[in-house]
Amino acid sequence: MTMTGTGGELGAALAAAAPTVTVVTDPAVLNAHRADHASTCPSGTPAALVRPRTTDEVAAVLRFASEHRIPVVPQGARTGLSGGANAVDGAILLSTEKMTTIAGIDADNQTATVQPGVINADFSRVVAAHGLFYPPDPASWEMSTLGGNAATNAGGLCCLKYGVTADFVRGLEVVLADGRVLRTGRSTAKGVAGYDLTRLFAGSEGTLGVITELTLALRPAAETPRTAIAFFTGMAPACDVVTEVMRAAVRPSLLELIDPVSLAAVSRHRDLGFPPGTTTVLITQSDDPAHAEAVLNGFAAAAGREGGEVLIADGPEEGRMFLATRRSVGLALEREGANLSEDVCVPRTRLRELVAGVGEISARTGVTIACTGHAGDGNMHPTMVFDAGDPAKAAAAGQAFDQVMALGLALGGTITGEHGVGVLKRDWLARELGPVGLEVHGGIKATLDPLGILNPGKVLARC
């Protein structure tokens, strides 16, 4: 049976099938939940929003959806930047916002078990109180959920030293499309039994199952980092400093680049007090007491050779202030106009070519493109800033977006280092994966979601 009725009818049937679940069909509430932060991605009209609290409730919703062939779109905090959590027509939006239990922290084994709706920063503060540290720190960490972070395999500023979210996910509980509950991975430090299904679900963007519990690895609390900042009058020298710093025997724990467009956007809202003429900034940190001095000195020497002016933070507070400038770039750019945000990642040695190429694309298309990012990883966020109300400007932004993606691939990179494919880049995935890669992806999707109800139209264009 296929259920196609109005949201009200579907809501009533859903409430009967999953009586303990909060089901909302109020159009105003649905409208407020239909999209993430990728403002240019299309979103459909959902039929209902559910807010389960338990795995059993999620399973009941998915059994109902499978029986009636209704699409289900999992949603965390909808901070995604690729339209992955956007509604599709007639969908049940499955929000994890009420799944916020931290079930346990095992301080001796340095693991934690959590529900997916826990906010990253809340969790990080709780584990810190146990003398532990959860490194994955997307710039959205005060808003985004641990489930959303796992489903996008989110990165962040600490990735350079510690790795991405998947590196800290030991195991998952996942509700499959038909309502069966799958456990992947382990809680032990090592384990190679069977295929690595945990890695498969990390980054699957809600297309293979709904993550209902995560077993996360923790580390001992990190030392307070030491921070340095370098001011430049152009991007090229800053890129060369990145290459040189990353070649050194001891590496920083963070190395971020802020470009002229982003810096100007942030400066419009607060006086940064940077040296006159500064257009580009590099920020580095080391949280390794044994090597911090060497890292900061190496950074200062490299920046000096490239004509940069260097300031070493005189304490943690000043370090946090430098980093606050970087963390505020995303929201500052959103205030400048519509954003079409890229996430290309290239081999570090090609960073200078990427940045120069983005500059050429901006000049050619007449589109303003910011190019801030995690320079130490070669993962930059070229962001087209434009007036969405002007069709010609929107079209030019779309062309610039495609050209940047082509450039990233041509430089041996990937179309997404951390934000995921979602709707935004699904047409580009085939180019990166190739026909065999795409076929294998399609086979996995068909095995786990044979009816194609899980987040349809995301990641894989034809599913």
CB atoms under 10 Å from CB of 167, counted, come to 14
Pick 166 or 300: Cβ nearer ligand FAD: 166
> Is residue 50 at the binding interface for ligand FAD, with CB under 6 A as the rule?
no
How distant, in Å, are the alpha carbons of 28, 71, 123, 406 from that of 143? 22, 26, 11, 31
> Is residue 75 at the binding interface for ligand FAD, with CB under 6 A as the rule?
yes
Among 57, 97, 205, 259, interactor with ligand FAD by CB under 6 A: 205
> Is residue 49 at the binding interface for ligand FAD, with CB under 6 A as the rule?
no
Pick 13 or 81: Cβ nearer ligand FAD: 81
Q: Determine the Cα–Cα distance for residues 256 and 262; give it in Å rounded to an integer.
A: 13
**Count of residues of this chain found to bind ligand FAD when the rule CB under 6 A is applied:** 38
> Is residue 77 at the binding interface for ligand FAD, with CB under 6 A as the rule?
yes
161 Cβ neighbours under 8 A, 6+ residues apart: 135, 251, 252, 253, 254, 287
Report the candidate in 276, 242, 236 with the shortest Cα–Cα distance to residue 259. Answer: 236
Span of 17-25, 154-162, 364-372, 382-390 interacting with ligand FAD by CB under 6 A: 154-162
CB of 238 to ligand FAD, least distance (A): 19
77 Cβ neighbours under 8 A, 6+ residues apart: 97, 119, 140, 143, 144, 145, 148
Among 25, 43, 96, 416, interactor with ligand FAD by CB under 6 A: 96
Please state the three-class secondary structure of 232-287 as a single string: ECCHHHHHHHHHHHHHCCCCCCEEEEECHHHHHHHHCCCCCCCCCCCCEEEEEEEC
Report the candidate in 277, 279, 252, 276 with the shortest Cα–Cα distance to residue 265. Answer: 279
Span of 136-144, 223-231, 251-259, 310-318 interacting with ligand FAD by CB under 6 A: 136-144
Among 149, 215, 285, 365, interactor with ligand FAD by CB under 6 A: 149
Q: Which of residues 408-427 bind ligand FAD (CB under 6 A)?
A: 418-419
CB of 203 to ligand FAD, least distance (A): 9
Pick 154 or 407: Cβ nearer ligand FAD: 154
Query: Residue 96 in contact with residue 75, Cβ under 8 Å?
Result: yes
CB atoms under 10 Å from CB of 335, counted, come to 12
CB of 175 to ligand FAD, least distance (A): 9
Q: Which residues bind ligand FAD (CB under 6 A)?
A: 36-37, 73-81, 84-85, 96, 116, 138-140, 144-145, 147-149, 151-152, 154-156, 205-206, 210-211, 330-331, 418-419, 455, 458
